[in-house]
């Protein structure tokens, strides 16, 4: 229906994979990603299986195997990942067809879901995995233990 923990886990794992990528490590095991981001390994394997099917990551088995990004982090938009895993709002027929089965084109609820889906995907298409890494670096510098504290610290500094 909307965004799920599946997408959140995927973005966290891809963030980590990109971090390894920028540090010269091209292939990373599911175990390392799972431990680093505290994501259940079995669930992460399923997520990465879907991402592999859609060409976002690839994998090599064996001692020197692991997962790697198929694109440069600058070229991977968050919307691609979200759409593959969650297909936001696509369970609503009106979002897919643009018309409510019951009320036709006069359905206000269908209009709102379509609008929300469009805005969400438009905004996510502006953010790349590289942007996410940059945000992560900035958050490390902000101080505070929670995202809210970091935002408040940034607001107080005027950044």
CATH code, residues 5-88+128-157: 1.10.10.10
Q: Establish how many alpha carbons lie within 13 A of residue 128's alpha carbon, considering only the half-sphere containing its beta carbon.
A: 11
Give me the pLDDT at residue 106, please: 66
The beta strand positions in 31-159, using DSSP E, are 57-60, 66-69
Give me the pLDDT at residue 96, please: 63
Task: Evaluate whether 16 touches 34 at the Cβ level (below 8 Å).
Answer: no
**Closest by Cα among 82, 88, 81, 84 to 117:** 88
Instruction: Kindly report whether the global pTM for this prediction surpasses the value 0.85.
Output: no
Task: Evaluate whether 47 touches 6 at the Cβ level (below 8 Å).
Answer: yes
Dist. CA 53–CA 76, nearest whole Å: 15
Task: Evaluate whether 30 touches 45 at the Cβ level (below 8 Å).
Answer: yes
Give me the pLDDT at residue 1, please: 46
Give me the pLDDT at residue 29, please: 94
Measured CA angle at 136 (ends 131, 141), to 5 deg: 130
Write out the chain's pLDDT in tens, 159 residues.
Answer: 467 899 999 999 999 999 999 899 989 999 999 999 999 999 999 999 999 999 999 999 888 889 999 999 999 999 999 988 887 655 566 666 666 666 666 677 777 877 887 898 899 999 999 999 999 888 887 766 676 776 677 666 665
């Amino acid at each position: 229906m909307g965004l799920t923990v599946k997408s959140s886990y995927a973005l966290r794992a891809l963030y980590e994979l990109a971090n390894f990528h920028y540090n010269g490590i091209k292939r990373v095991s599911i175990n390392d990603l799972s431990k680093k981001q505290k994501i259940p390994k079995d669930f992460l394997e399923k997520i990465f299986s879907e991402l592999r099917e859609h060409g976002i990551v690839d994998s090599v088995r064996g001692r020197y195997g692991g997962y790697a990004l198929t694109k440069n982090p600058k070229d991977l938009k968050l919307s691609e990942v979200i759409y593959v895993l969650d297909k936001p709002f696509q369970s609503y027929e009106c979002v897919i067809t643009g018309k409510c089965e019951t009320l036709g084109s006069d359905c206000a609820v269908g209009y709102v879901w379509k609008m929300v889906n469009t805005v969400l995907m438009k905004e996510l298409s502006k953010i790349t995995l590289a942007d996410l890494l940059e945000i992560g670096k900035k958050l490390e510098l902000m101080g505070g233990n929670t995202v809210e504290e970091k935002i408040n610290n940034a607001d107080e500094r005027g950044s």
